[in-house]
Amino acid sequence: MKPHNIQFSLNGEKVALSVEPSDVLLDVLRGRLGIKSPKVGCDRGDCGTCTVLMNGKTIRSCLALAVEADGAEIVTLEGANSRKWTQKLQKTFHAKNAFQCGFCAPGVILSATELLEKNPKPTSHDIKEAIAGNLCRCTGYEPIVEAIAETAKGK
Amino acid sequence: MPITTEFEYLKPKDMDEALHVFSLYREKARALAGGTDLVVHLKENLSRPEVVVDIKALQELSGLTLKEGTLRLGALTTFSELIDSPVIKSKFPLLWEASLTVASTGVRNRATVAGNICSAVPSADSAPVLAVYDAEVMTRSLKGERRVPIGEWFTGPKKTALLPDEIVTAIELKLPEKKHAGCYMKLSRYEGEDLAQGGIAVLAFSDNTYRVAACALGPVPARCPKTEAVLGGNKLGDKLLAKAGDTILQEVSPISDIRSSKEYRLHMTRIMLGRALEMAVARLFGKGPKYGTENIC
């Protein structure tokens, strides 16, 4: 396999590295770039724990080849503080103790960030739809939905 | 899970270059757009290509346009683009409704409609909708272009009419001229993200004609012509719905699998058909739930 030299913006900083065509973005972020917020969950796109923002949209980093990130802007939870809603969400989740084990938290926060950027006044259904792809195995969905709703209302 | 298959990655900048690669590698080349199916297949060794061809730099494959009653979805059009498009929401609300049921936002941001029909799983949500809109799949190889009616596209579970040296360039849908309304009803195990246990798409027209298609209820997503014939020309009523329900059961052939039993699928096919028809007709007269409303649970 011919390795590829790629460059992309990771949380606002330029990174350059050489990757194999078969390297998966999630594994490169975690294993080589020290970015640990995206988690390895189902590893096939169903659970949402590996969520990162690519060019402003949430994607499954377990279903992206690292080489596809060439030229892109990747934001993970570590670098999402510059976005309007992320810190507000984190504060509300913290205040409400809305996460239990926290494994799904980075993915949920990024999905909620994307939702509120597009739709700052979401209905309960909009919120549930936005996080439908983020599985919480503590099944603490109610406080998660409430925390997103409260963040949107600015409580 | 690492990908153990070794392959080269190419990202051609123009169509000619891409088509040369597919002409040379044929079955050993795999097109990469959203990757939401391909990367899973690579991880699970269900696909072992020699070369993965990233088609995202091919400008002519992107964008959706509605011109003179024909909607052209470039092969790179994602489900999120459909959901965010005012044109789709206002002119092709049935396609909009079905797009909302596909996986979840993080998947829809990358997954393409063309990829959905190229993966060609029996449960492909876009397929019955494309079928009732009489869509055509545009393909291209060095030898030229082809236009494949969606009814001839699916040749078996995960099999399509795409030739090894071809790529899909676009999907075209004709906006029906007659007044119409639709409904996509998807049966799944829970609200939110799931593959269809069964899906029924209906278009109802003001002259009491109907188009019906199903997914996950047979080896390939397909129109139900006998059911359409029974319905055609008639106003909906209990007797007609019962007859249509009997007829569609002759046209579907579901299996039992991890998501549900054959018997449950058959039972629900009749119910889904009835509800989808009633909902489409209600929408035709400006009533019924808004498109995108959870319509089955």
Whichever domain contains A59, its CATH number is: 3.10.20.30
Kindly state whether residues A112 and A137 are assigned to the same domain. Answer: yes
Interface contacts (A, B; CB < 8 Å): 95
Which residues of chain A lie closer than 8 angstroms to B105, CB-CB? 58, 111, 114-115, 129-130, 132-133
- Chosen for mutation from B110, B195, B258 (greatest number of chain A CBs closer than 10 Å) is B110
Which residues of chain B lie closer than 8 angstroms to A63, CB-CB? 35-36, 39-40, 107, 110
Candidate from B2, B107, B294 with C-beta closest to A133? B107
Kindly state whether residues A75 and A91 are assigned to the same domain. Answer: no
Domain extents for chain B? 8-54, 59-174, 180-284
Pick out chain B residues at pLDDT < 70.
297
Kindly state whether residues A16 and A51 are assigned to the same domain. Answer: yes
* C-alpha radius of gyration, chain A, whole number: 16
| AA identity, residue B174 | K
Q: Which of A47, A79, A111 is the last residue of a domain?
A: A79
Kindly state whether residues A103 and A118 are assigned to the same domain. Answer: yes
Q: Does A4 touch chain B (CB under 8 A)?
A: yes
Beta strands in chain B (DSSP E): 8-10, 29-32, 51-54, 64-67, 70-74, 136-141, 144-149, 154-156, 159-160, 167-174, 180-187, 198-205, 210-215, 222-223
What is the reported pLDDT for B191?
Answer: 72
What is the reported pLDDT for A155?
Answer: 64
What is the reported pLDDT for B77?
Answer: 98
A positions 78-117 inside 8 Å of B (CB): 107, 111, 114-115
ipTM entry: 0.96
* Closest-CA residue to B183 (of B82, B72, B294, B66): B294
Q: For the residues A121-133, what does the mean pLDDT come to?
A: 96
Q: For the residues A99-117, what does the mean pLDDT come to?
A: 97
Kindly state whether residues A87 and A40 are assigned to the same domain. Answer: no
Residues in CB range of B77: below 8 A, 6 or more apart? B62, B63, B64, B112, B113, B114
Kindly state whether residues A16 and A73 are assigned to the same domain. Answer: yes
DSSP designation for B101: T
CATH code: domain of residue A144: 1.10.150.120
pLDDT at A123 over 80: yes
Q: Which CATH code for domain B59-174?
A: 3.30.465.10
What is the reported pLDDT for A1?
Answer: 85
Which residues of chain A lie closer than 8 angstroms to B100, CB-CB? 129
Kindly state whether residues A75 and A12 are assigned to the same domain. Answer: yes
Phi and psi torsions of B152, nearest 5°? -105, 0
Kindly state whether residues A12 and A74 are assigned to the same domain. Answer: yes
Which residues of chain A lie closer than 8 angstroms to B2, CB-CB? 22, 24, 27
Candidate from A22, A45, A130 with C-beta closest to B3? A22
Q: For the residues A101-124, what does the mean pLDDT come to?
A: 97
Kindly state whether residues A114 and A60 are assigned to the same domain. Answer: no
- Chosen for mutation from B1, B9, B85, B259 (greatest number of chain A CBs closer than 10 Å) is B9
On whether the B180-284 domain is CATH 3.30.390.50, my answer is yes
Give me the domain span that covers residue A106: 83-153
Task: Tell me whether residues B193 and A63 touch, CB distance under 8 A.
Answer: no
Task: Tell me whether residues B4 and A111 touch, CB distance under 8 A.
Answer: no
What is the reported pLDDT for B297?
Answer: 55
| AA identity, residue A117 | E
pLDDT digits (tens, 9 = 90+) for A6-29: 999 999 999 999 999 999 999 999
Task: Tell me whether residues B8 and A1 touch, CB distance under 8 A.
Answer: yes
Question: Which whole-number Å values give the CA distances from A30 to A24, A65, A73, A88, B179, in the listed order?
Answer: 10, 14, 17, 25, 53
Structure tokens at B171: 């999907």
Structure tokens at A104: 């799904």
Overall domain count for chain A: 2
Kindly state whether residues A56 and A9 are assigned to the same domain. Answer: yes
Q: How far apart are CA A48 and CA B36, in angstroms?
A: 13
Structure tokens at B160: 């399509």
- Chosen for mutation from A4, A6, A39, A63 (greatest number of chain B CBs closer than 10 Å) is A63
What is the reported pLDDT for A10?
Answer: 98
Task: Tell me whether residues B103 and A67 touch, CB distance under 8 A.
Answer: no
Q: Which of A51, A79, A107 is the last residue of a domain?
A: A79
Q: Which of A17, A52, A79 is the last residue of a domain?
A: A79
Task: Tell me whether residues B32 and A1 touch, CB distance under 8 A.
Answer: no
Structure tokens at B78: 């994602």
Kindly state whether residues A121 and A144 are assigned to the same domain. Answer: yes
Kindly state whether residues A26 and A70 are assigned to the same domain. Answer: yes
Q: Does A59 touch chain B (CB under 8 A)?
A: yes
- Please state which of the four CATH numbers 3.90.1640.30, 2.60.120.10, 3.40.50.150, 3.30.43.10 is assigned to the domain occupying B8-54: 3.30.43.10
Q: How far apart are CA B91 and CA B283, in angstroms?
A: 14
What is the reported pLDDT for B69?
Answer: 96
